[in-house]
Structure 1
Amino acid sequence: MRFAKPATLLALGLAIATIVSAHEPAAPKMRAAAEAFIATVPEAQRAKLVLAFTDAKRDEWHYTPRSRPGLSFADLKEPQRKAVHDLLKSALSEAGHRKVVNIIELELVLRETQFGLSFLRDPEKYSLVFFGKPDARATWGWRFEGHHLSLNFTLKGDAAVATTPSFFGANPAEVRKGAKQGLRVLASEQDEALKLLASLDEAQRRTAIVDDRSYGDIVTGASAKASPLEQRGLLASAMTPAQRAQLQKLIEVYADSFEPGLRAARLARVREGDAGNVRFAWAGTPGKGGPHYYRIQGAKFLIEFDASQDDGNHIHTVWRDFDGDFGRDLLREHHALAQGSSHRH
């Protein structure tokens, strides 16, 4: 297929793992969609598509134009392209899949406007790779990645799914001319944060705004493992009920890109630890009209948003899990269960 053109969670204390349990449909649906795609690929190409689960490339992710492991859209025929989108739909919500399609199509906008770099802007250069063969019991994973997209999934058979790191970006953040004029792929990620910032009183803003300049990009970059950032910003416990509800709404914007079971697991992760210690921090211009950055950080997770480049009209967002990126929680559990058994790695 070518590219087809509140209950306040922070007040709850129940801690649930950042994985989807076996009764959730996400894992078996992903496996079925993955197997269906792999079946369309000739045997000669499968060595490039399906790497070992232990391959070093599994946690080497990025969001810039560059070469990538796996097969790209340029390598695939129409039915195979549709199968890739079917796999994406097994993991994403309708809104999340639409974001993916729109981000890819922004490459065509950049091709028309960035004449010196137009050769880098190519919607065919988005790749799918598997780490380990899809299996109902074994551990495996997959990644869909290209410019401004990196979606990483690790599965423990049909029992559990880890979904981070996940990166969505948009350049331009707002298309200002041409056929797609007015398109804002990541509008809610920006607008709901601005609403939260605007709701703060003067004392709260002095705490929430931690720097007068943004940082040029997300602070954690494309690191294989993210560590907690400085404990700066406004605590959820220092917000009014209405502000905490707005913070919750902003977090849900990021979770809403994923299918219902994966969305629920994301939001459950937010509840781990002391919910009142979730922090909202802002840097840069306190509005849409210039470079700005914000982050939401809890005991287990980090959300970063950056709009530093192109005078704020270029967005990078990421959700990291300090313990669970690339399924580290799943692997830790897997190795613990294997100890003392005949299983060997």
Structure 2
Amino acid sequence: MKSLLPALFLALPIAAEELPAPLALQTAANAFLASLDDKKQERATFPFDSEERENWHYTPRDRKGLPLKDMNEAQKNAAVALANEILSERGAMQAAQIISLESVLAKLENNPQRRDPEKYFVAIFGTPGDKDGWAIRFEGHHLSVNVTLVGDKGFSVTPSFMGTNPGEIREGELKGMRPLAAEEDLARALALTLLESGKKDVLFSENPPKEILTGEERVAKQLEPVGVLASEMTEAQQEALFELISQYTGRYRADLAEADMAKIKKAGMDKIRFGWAGSTKPREAYYYRVQGPTFLMEGCNVQNNANHMHAVWRDTENDFARDLLGEHLDGHE
């Protein structure tokens, strides 16, 4: 088991993933709920069909669910164990770093109440293991992890959001820390190699948007096709694109990540587009997106003098398991 919050909680022992994801998550969710008294269980649980299940956010705000700050040590460790069953070791480390940045912001803004690293909330929707559907949300500022499981039909791990402010810590004890370094560096390197090989269309605008275009929308839709198709890239460029996509899917434990990558490939890797807007120089504002027939990934670093990054992954068919639940976009509001 990976330690999600080493600065806040006792480190949990690392163990190999032995159980398949549905059973592992069900076991961890039940262990978390069993650690709570009745009042805390009431705050942490919601009906599966509750509108709250799709009420996701990455901005700093109070949320529904049970926050870490209202848990005792055993309950926090159970919450961390649940989150760590969802995430890969790399994903868990990124999440830990993102959460630790709240303490940095608390000092920079002199506002510890707003920037509280324990204002991350756990919510369970439905009954863990219910074949008709159940879900987990672990969410706070710049972190939104949403997993929905629907019996033997499958699962959804989107919307999936990670953000960092600062994107890079440039002074102090944590100088050099960049939780989303790969999401930025891999994308920039791909943009540069495409430009160098004459693929000028990769740069679709010199002016990046100020934010990811899908924002906190509950329903993700395809955006305007921009950039260069994978089918027009060299083999090396296609491999670089695949590595960038894997950085997003690889936030999650291996069996979840592999299943999503298989779905992306099945829809057609040659149909995926990569586009860049803004400067390609480090520490200057940019935006990029990777878009395929079934998914959308956006990276944006514009705010705070290009030192505040957002990186989101949406499934345009199956966010919140809508496709698995039969709630196709043409009939979903």
Calculate the TM-score normalised by the size of structure 1.
0.87
Q: 8 Å contact 1:31–1:136 — kept in the other structure?
A: no
The amino acid that maps onto 1:69 is K
Distance 2:269 2:149 in 1: 27
- The Cα shift of 1:287 comes to 2.3
Quote the residue 1:106 is aligned against: 101
Contact 2:195 2:202 in 1 (8 A): no
Q: 1:288 aligned to 2:273?
A: no
Task: Describe how 1:60-139 pairs up with structure 2 within 5 A.
Answer: 60-115=55-110, 117-139=111-133
Deviation at 1:120, TM superposition (A): 1.4
Structure 2 equivalent of residue 54 of structure 1: 49
Q: Which residue of 2 aligns with 1:4?
A: 6
How far does residue 223 in structure 1 lie from its aligned partner after superposition? 0.6
Letter in 1 for 2:72: K
Change (3 A) 1:257 1:2: closer
Q: 5+ unaligned residues in a row in structure 1: which ranges? A: 6-22, 335-345
**Cα offset for 1:24?**
7.4
1:18 maps to none
For 1:62, give the aligned amino acid.
H
Q: How far, CA to CA, are the matches of 2:114 and 2:222 in structure 1?
A: 33
CA RMSD of aligned residues (A): 1.9
Q: What per-residue deviation string (whole Å, max 9, x for no partner) do you get for residues 12-34 of structure 1?
A: xxxxxxxxxxx970111000000
Spell out, residue by residue over 1:50-77, the C-alpha distance to the aligned partner (whole angstroms, 9 max, x if none): 1111111111111011111110011100
Match of 1:300 among 289, 294, 302: 294
Aligned to 1:240: 234
The alignment status of 1:176 with 2:170, answered yes or no, reads yes
Find the residue that maps to 2:144 and give its secondary structure: strand
Equivalent residue number for residue 208 of structure 1:
202
Aligned to 2:35: 40
Give 1:148-163 correspondences, 5 Å limit: 148-157=142-151, 160-163=154-157
Percent identity over the alignment is 40
Q: Residue in 2 aligned with 1:276?
A: 270
Gaps of 5+ in 2: 8-17, 329-333
For these two proteins, the number of residue pairs brought into alignment is 316
Which of 222, 235, 241 in structure 1 is aligned with 2:216? 222
CA gap 1:42/1:158 in 2 versus in 1, 3 angstroms:
farther
Distance 1:32 1:159 in 2: 19
> Could you tell me how far 1:284 is from its partner in structure 2?
1.0
Deviations 1:178-199 (A, max 9, x none): 1111101011101111111121
Kindly indicate whether the alpha-carbon contact (under 8 Å) linking 1:27 and 1:159 is maintained by their aligned counterparts in 2. Answer: no
The Cα of 1:205 is off from its aligned counterpart by: 4.3
User: Quick one: which amino acid aligns to residue 73 of structure 2?
Assistant: E
In the alignment, what sits opposite 2:254?
A: 260
Q: Which has the higher contact order (CA 8 A, sep 6+)?
A: 1
* Structure-2 separation of matches of 1:286 and 1:85: 37
Q: Deviations over 1:65-107 (max 9, x none)?
A: 1111110011100011111111111111111111111110010
Contact 1:24–1:261 under 8 Å retained in 2: no
Kindly provide the amino acid, as one letter, of the partner of residue 84 in structure 2.
Answer: K
Question: How far 1:202 sits from its partner (Å)?
Answer: 5.1
Q: Where do 1:136-151 residues align within 5 Å?
A: 136-151=130-145
Question: 1-side partners of 2:132 and 2:225: how far apart?
Answer: 38
Deviates more, 1:89-98 or 1:135-144: 135-144
Task: Classify 1:2/1:287 alpha carbon distance in 2 versus 1 (closer, same or farther; 3 Å).
Answer: closer
